[in-house]
Structure 1
């Protein structure tokens, strides 16, 4: 009995130490003190002391432990490490670990998240958005760009160049704007709501391209020459990476540059003989400077002993002999400048390598580091813009469009779609701001930006599908009035570029995150690759046994949080959102446990089990997205109007995490391991449900009237006046809301038998005036609102000749319209 009691106390101490993640030495001291007290006041029990002694010896006897235990494990670990080529290694090492590291370790420091400074625009940035961005948005017609002209108007291009839109990120000393990542995101977001082509034409020069590469890696001579020209729009940049046989697998590019001697400006110099064939290159048809990625070879040893130097990046004027540009691809739904570029035996001097000859072979690392930041700005901003526009316009349209004498927004089926639009828009805006803000904090969070790119583009695609369903024919018929069709058609472009979403989800998010975000795995891999074996063993010893303690802690924490429904977690904030932090901590702990055991059991095979790793990546992603929602709520003053949106998103994300975990457990081999993990993570079965119908109903109400939340969530989109697509609907929406009390008078009069409705609405209004139910001014206001409503739900129609591309309307139709 004494032995059992002491063993239980020892287990309790171990359990508490593991849950709180106490240091091993501290846990041993506490356990030893507890046994001493029990022995002094009770009896001596051998077994507990033997267990404690064995652990103490293992902990204290460094040389014995390293020689007899660590060394064999170290050698086995090295033997099972999956092979990794240079491209994979550089991609893995690129970028930083940021908040994703906290989420992955199983015990997030929420105070750290809440302590991040709220991302905000400067006065200069806000003024630029309110003036220059608003101006250029008013200069374009999305319909004319995509259907008629297949390009931006010349005056819009000139304005973009003159006002510095192509140099938003370039430092002021080179003539650029030197704006923040948040400003870049906000600008692209607003431009995209006026025209996707306008957004793309601005985002590309400011994202992965020559300017960013030059700012980070260029020589002073390269910076001084190119950056002022890029900032002023004198040079138009493009960057060529993707080719016919190398899309997402950029490491497989066949394009080559062979070191050789050649003639340049009348002199024989050392340079490169380039051959390339690239496609899908945005701005290539009009570019004046080409950023080119290729594999560099030195077969004659002109630079040294290394023949295969690796991926390299160079800047080449498109006017240079042998460079082929100008042809165009025709992207689906968006006629932005995109096309191929080719070159055969094009000679360039070595000085055209970005960063100079010393950066030969470092191109892939350069590209991945730049892309890891840019991926979190461009496509997330345009995706958020899509959702914002859909939120505002679809909510308004749901008020304007009536069926069965009822606004369609009041039908529960429509309400279900509207709720998904509303919830997604809130989360997208939160994620856009926090992700761009991370870049402004100096981070290059490669895993987080991959999460943002994948989930935000997929969310925008779902939002557009729901918006199109609500609009019905109004969304299907293309024309000047349609604000959804071009975005709906072009959404696969966002899904495809900067790494296809299938690749991003199945290989990148967890594949990179599991190694980079894990507190020990990446460092253990580095230790295993240490050329000094003893130094590697010494480092591995510390990491490995701390890793064991970390795994034990995750098991105990996950089981404890599952059994208690996470109620034992300390809430970092007061109020109704405190419970959400507890549940997210529970899921973070579960992810840490499941990921650790999966890597231990599957090892290198986990890399090839893409669907398994994708599901764990989904859990990490929803943890991050939930974090952005809570951060946005706090940063905006914890407004009561936001609470239903926060609740909707956290509930939905927890449900999706549960779904991802269960699908992972169902498909994990051996099956017993999946069953065991399910019992640890969800000891009482399913814990989370999708948002209720009641909550759906609650969050869509802000879409149907003018309020602060609606304005804040859709801040930064281009609306324009009633001559613009969204402005037309917004104008009618405002008039209908303003005249609702007048319309109610007619409805009450009809219900009370004081008014008999006529066949046509204007006649009913006229009768209401005659009966003294309405004043003439009220009647005029009501008829104006009704005319605007009917105009807003109307669709465009064109002559057969116009649809064929004959844009000069026949004289008879022009006169009839007049």
Structure 2
């Protein structure tokens, strides 16, 4: 006992007596930390400091405050926003013929362009004082999702001016003069904007853009003017072929020190009228399966005045920070909205089609193989809507959560692709024959576009989510990085020493708590609710703690190499992502009042999240650079083994029943899906057929009973119905109702054909 007391006393002295701690612990660790410190480029440093840390920080640190999440206000549209959706958006969609836009005209018709401009579709994010609508992130997302369910080409056209671009950059950083001139013109449609960032040699690595500007003096409008000589070559620029004003990102150089002492100023953003001499626009790309305006822009030695920099001369070289901060918000709205649209359209149409389409005398939705795919569609759509609502709620509260929006963009677009794959399989031939009645084909072809832009999904997963999150979300690492980077070694060591002590306590607490959670299978963890959701809160808290431990160990052992071990860090990013989406799903369930009708969807989504978390951890442990440490971590997080499984088959039937029945939950999960009321609208035909079949359920039951009793001879559906009417099994009125339903059903499953092509 005496020896134990001595050992503990020595440890306490080493840890808490500053001179000894600094000499024996802090200084050696400081030197080691500097040696493994990953080199951060200027653009990476800007990205690290941009945006805010929000719920992602709670999950990363292992102590999520669930009650704080549940106490967040339930997101809700304002009366003005709802009225715009009910009127302007509804009118716009009624004007839209997506088949004609994509297959014939390769562009929006002029009347739609004019309607978009005059009704403010390009000014959703512009302040009311400048003539804009100043809608919330939730409204922006909702509008884009609804439009996308009708036409992806139209949705992209609407979303780009309301995402990263001149309108947003001017609103946040423009000079008062720039705002007063440009924002009203953008709001009322006099100007059509585009923003040129991507080039042939710079995509996701936007910091490497070769486009350059040289500070110089030249004649402009008859006067010698301080300005910039610009040369650029950009591609993939949405709206560029029709834009009247070009936002341009370039690297600014000042070789003659006309602005100050620094030669290389860094990335800068400027606003240039496309009518300005030397600006080249007009040539188009043809995005796969879609017809929105997208193209190239170039310029060589184009001179612009210095005050055309967005924000004015004082913002020279600050463009990257501006872009990252705006992108961290915009990335959570527009592209995820396209993923949500896939879910809403897919769930509504597939539920109806699975009832209407019959094989072997049964609706195809009754077959277990089809139900397996339908469960994925319904379960993922529940989570898509939950994630959309939570992320936009955060943005409307003023957060700019870079990690959360990267998670949202990556996973919602990927989930949208998964949903569409299953939807296409179930619709089969109906989905692959293009024509006016195909409501899936263009979206299926277009969803890869959402996956490749605003940060290609592969790089978002492998570099951004954990790579940036490990530094931003960790409570101490960013402070340690800053201390290690301090050019004054003594000051850096002092700061590092104070942070390190806190870090050691944090890490020790996480290790012991994670083991305790694992040994008890999380059963002793408190949950903010009771009932079906309570076990999920416990398991997610347990996995959050496990992530905190594994992230700390990975950063300690691998240091700067962790950035290069992309597959390894991506798996930890997957854990964080699944934790976030599961959190969103629990919040959505709570906001809906925890109805029993949601149980199957909730359990399917969360069981899938936990299974994906388990698989990500298994891959992380198996591929850790030090196999011994990998196995120790595995036993620490999963002492009894990883027992999370994929969702149970029994949930599939429950989900399918909701998808194939009219009801509140079906409407809630598909309220963003456009249903046309015109006679020949394909979505309207499916929906009317679906409703008619439910109205004929009793008639179908009478006919089936008569066949089984031998009163009606078994044959085709139409023959049996006619015979049942003749035998008096059903009335003539019921027979006519059945005939109307069958006509609608045949119209719903029909596909387009053409005399010639």
TM-score (norm 2): 0.98
Structure 2 unmatched ranges of 5 or more: none
Q: Distance in 1 between matches of 2:12 and 2:210?
A: 57
1:740 aligns with 2:708: no
Q: Distance in 1 between matches of 2:561 and 2:581?
A: 28
In the alignment, which residue of structure 1 is the partner of 2:263? 307
In the alignment, which residue of structure 1 is the partner of 2:401? 445
Secondary structure, in 3 states, of the residue corresponding to 1:527? helix
1:633 aligns with 2:586: no
Matches within 5 A, 1:96-175: 96-175=52-131
Matches within 5 A, 1:231-270: 231-270=187-226
Q: Distance in 1 between matches of 2:376 and 2:311?
A: 47
Q: Distance in 1 between matches of 2:36 and 2:464?
A: 21
> Residue 309 of structure 2 is aligned with which of 329, 350, 353?
353
1:205 aligns with 2:168: no
Q: Distance in 2 between matches of 1:725 and 1:286?
A: 31
Which stretch has the larger CA shift, 622-631 or 155-164? 155-164
Matches within 5 A, 1:597-608: 597-608=553-564
Matches within 5 A, 1:372-771: 372-721=328-677, 722-757=679-714, 761-771=717-727
Q: Distance in 1 between matches of 2:691 and 2:16?
A: 75
Q: Is the 8 A contact 2:348 2:673 kept in 1?
A: no
Q: Distance in 1 between matches of 2:122 and 2:624?
A: 49
Q: Distance in 2 between matches of 1:467 and 1:770?
A: 40
In the alignment, which residue of structure 2 is the partner of 1:93? 49
Secondary structure, in 3 states, of the residue corresponding to 1:324? coil
Q: Distance in 2 between matches of 1:638 and 1:201?
A: 37
Q: Distance in 2 between matches of 1:254 and 1:477?
A: 43
Deviation at 1:242, TM superposition (A): 0.3
TM-score (norm 1): 0.91
Q: Distance in 2 between matches of 1:560 and 1:409?
A: 45
Q: Distance in 2 between matches of 1:51 and 1:762?
A: 89
Deviation at 1:724, TM superposition (A): 1.6
Q: Distance in 2 between matches of 1:756 and 1:63?
A: 97
Q: Is the 8 A contact 2:467 2:569 kept in 1?
A: yes
Matches within 5 A, 1:46-65: 46-65=2-21
Q: Is the 8 A contact 2:60 2:576 kept in 1?
A: yes
Q: Distance in 1 between matches of 2:598 and 2:724?
A: 41
Q: Distance in 2 between matches of 1:305 and 1:797?
A: 69
Deviations along 1:251-285, one digit per CA (max 9) or x if unpaired, are 11111111111121111101011100000000001
Q: Distance in 1 between matches of 2:606 and 2:271?
A: 46
Q: Cα RMSD between the aligned structures?
A: 1.2
1:288 aligns with 2:244: yes
Secondary structure, in 3 states, of the residue corresponding to 1:313? strand
Matches within 5 A, 1:223-234: 223-234=179-190
Secondary structure, in 3 states, of the residue corresponding to 1:138? helix
When Rg is computed on C-alpha atoms for both structures, the one with the higher figure is 1
Deviation at 1:78, TM superposition (A): 2.1
Q: Is the 8 A contact 2:210 2:250 kept in 1?
A: yes
Q: Distance in 2 between matches of 1:766 and 1:82?
A: 78
In the alignment, which residue of structure 2 is the partner of 1:194? 150
Q: Distance in 2 between matches of 1:644 and 1:592?
A: 30
Q: Distance in 2 between matches of 1:765 and 1:565?
A: 58
Deviation at 1:718, TM superposition (A): 1.0
Q: Is the 8 A contact 2:15 2:501 kept in 1?
A: no
Q: Distance in 2 between matches of 1:566 and 1:72?
A: 37
Secondary structure, in 3 states, of the residue corresponding to 1:225? helix
